[in-house]
Structure 1
C-alpha cells in the first residue's frame, strides 16, 4: 500500500484537489479552497520529488499559511462587496403585503411579492381581507404580519412600527 502511494503520489494529490474543491462548493467558506490549493501545490511537487513526506509537509505548511493569512483577507473582501445583503426569506422582512383572507393570530393568507403566503398576525389584532400589512418576520412558510400604518397627511408613508 505505501509503495503504491509513494509511486503514485501525484494521483493521491489530484484526487485530494478534486475532493477538497467539491467540499468547498458545498460549504462556500474558503477553508477547503485553501486546502485544495495546498493539495495542488503538493501535486506539482509530486512531479519534482518522490518524497511523500516532503509533499505532506508542504501540503500542511501551505494549508496553514493559506488558512490563516489568505482566507481572512478573502472573507473580508467578499463580505465588503456584499454588506448586509439579505437573501432568501430575510429579504421579505419589512415588505408590504396585501391581506387576501382575514389574518388572525391563528392564520390567514396574504399576497407577498406576487405570491400567496400563509400568515399570522404578530400583534394578535385581526386584519380584514383587502387591508394592507407589512411583514414583521418569517417563520418557516408563514409570514408574521402587522397592520400597515396609514399614510401621513402630507402623502408620505408612515414609518413602520417596530415590535
Structure 2
C-alpha cells in the first residue's frame, strides 16, 4: 500500500484538486478553492519527495490557513465593489412622482418616476390637505402596498 501511495500519490492529488475546483465552480463561495490550493501544496510536497504523511499535513495546514486567513478579507474585498443602488423598497425611498388621483384623508394614487402606479397616502407629519392631480410628491416610506408621500416644494 505504501509503494502505491508513493508511486501514484501525485495522481490522487490531481484528482482531489479537480474535484475541489469543480465543486467550487458550482458553489462560488471560495471554500473549496482554498481546499484545492491546500491540496496543491500537498502535491508540490509530494513532487519534492516528501512522505505521504507530510503531504497530508502540508495540505491540511495550508488549507486551514487559507480558509481562516485569506478567505475572509478576500470576500470583503469582493463584496466592497457591489452595486450601491437600492433594491426593492429601498429603491423607492426618496423617489419622486406625480399624483394621479387626489390624495386626501382616504388616500389616492401616484405615478412614481420609475413608471409604477402606487396607492398613496400622506405622511402623518404632513398638514391635512388634499394633494391634487399633477402635483409632485416624494416617497418617504412604503407601508405594505401603499407609498407614504409628502408634497414636494413647488417648482419655480
* Larger radius of gyration between Structure 1 and Structure 2: 2
Aligned equivalents of 1:147 and 1:130: distance in 2?
14
SS at match of 2:148: strand
SS in 2 for 1:88: coil
1:79/1:9 CA distance change after superposition, 3 Å: closer
Residue 134 of structure 1: how far off its partner (Å): 1.3
Distance 1:13 1:91, change over 3 A: same
Q: Which residue of 2 aligns with 1:112?
A: 112
Deviation at 1:86, TM superposition (A): 3.2
Q: Distance in 2 between matches of 1:53 and 1:139?
A: 62
| Deviations 1:13-32, CA, capped at 9 Å, x for gaps | 312222123212xxxxxxx3
> What is the CA deviation profile of residues 15-59 of structure 1, one whole-angstrom value per residue up to 9, with x for unaligned ones?
2222123212xxxxxxx315413314414634763848844x445
Offset of residue 94 of structure 1: 0.9
Tell me the TM-score normalised to structure 2 length. Answer: 0.59
Structure 1, gaps ≥5 residues long: 25-31, 156-163
CA-atom RMSD, angstroms? 4.0
Describe the SS at the equivalent of 2:147: strand
Aligned residues: 139
